């Protein structure tokens, strides 16, 4: 979230919302003069009730796009469908490989030579939405979960703002289960190579 704010994108961040009152992102947003809100999932009897309250809170800010950044909860189908085509996430793997948690450990255990991250539109199937852009990093022979995660995170901080810039500039065309990036200059950047200089 901080990387998105600091990218000075051509968009207005309406609010930062968290399910945890002590989230560092809330304090950062407040220092930047961005509206904040907390919807505590523990205060709701069911996932559906929490998502309904979260939806009400989000809709109060009338955003064009809902950006998941460090929000670690599985959202209900009703919530996801409410924001179809307007809900975006970043995942620390090259989807469809390694959806879910512990992606770096699983990548190392699988012995893959390339790992990375994916910005995608959210659908009811977790970590399987239409892909906007991906960044790849080489997996080194001496990598640990921590070293691989750090290299992927560096790419995440560049990739997510880029995808949001394309959205703000109306360059993303979502058709069925695919995302096309409009403008010939951006077509070749829908995948960052592990050997490119960052």
- The residues assigned a catalytic role are 91
Whether the CB-CB separation of 4 and 32 falls below 8 Å is answered with: no
> Would you call 15 helix, strand, or coil by DSSP?
coil
> Would you call 35 helix, strand, or coil by DSSP?
coil
Start-to-end C-alpha separation, the chain: 20
DSSP bridge partners of 119: 90, 133
Given the DSSP bridges, would you call strands 131-138 and 191-192 parallel, antiparallel or unpaired?
parallel
Q: What phi, psi does 89 have (nearest 5°)?
A: -145, 160
Whether the CB-CB separation of 1 and 157 falls below 8 Å is answered with: no
Q: Return the number of other C-beta atoms located less than 10 Å from residue 68's C-beta.
A: 16
């Amino acid at each position: 979230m901080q990387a998105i704010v600091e990218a000075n994108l051509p968009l207005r961040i309406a609010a930062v919302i968290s399910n945890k009152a002590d989230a560092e992102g809330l304090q950062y947003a407040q220092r930047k003069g961005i509206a904040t809100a907390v919807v505590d999932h523990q205060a709701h009897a069911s996932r559906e009730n929490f998502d309904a309250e979260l939806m009400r809170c989000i809709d109060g800010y009338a955003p064009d796009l809902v950006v998941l950044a460090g929000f670690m909860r599985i959202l209900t189908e009703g919530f996801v469908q409410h924001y179809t085509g307007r809900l975006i996430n970043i995942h620390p793997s090259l989807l469809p490989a390694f959806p879910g948690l512990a992606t770096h450990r699983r990548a190392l255990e699988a012995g893959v030579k390339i790992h990375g991250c994916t910005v995608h539109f959210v659908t009811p199937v977790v970590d399987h939405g239409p892909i906007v852009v991906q960044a790849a990093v080489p997996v080194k022979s001496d990598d640990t979960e921590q070293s691989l995660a750090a290299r992927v995170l560096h790419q995440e901080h560049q990739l997510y703002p880029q995808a949001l810039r394309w959205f703000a500039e109306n360059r993303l065309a979502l058709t069925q289960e695919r995302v096309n990036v409009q403008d010939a200059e951006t077509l070749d950047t829908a995948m960052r190579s592990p050997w490119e200089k960052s």
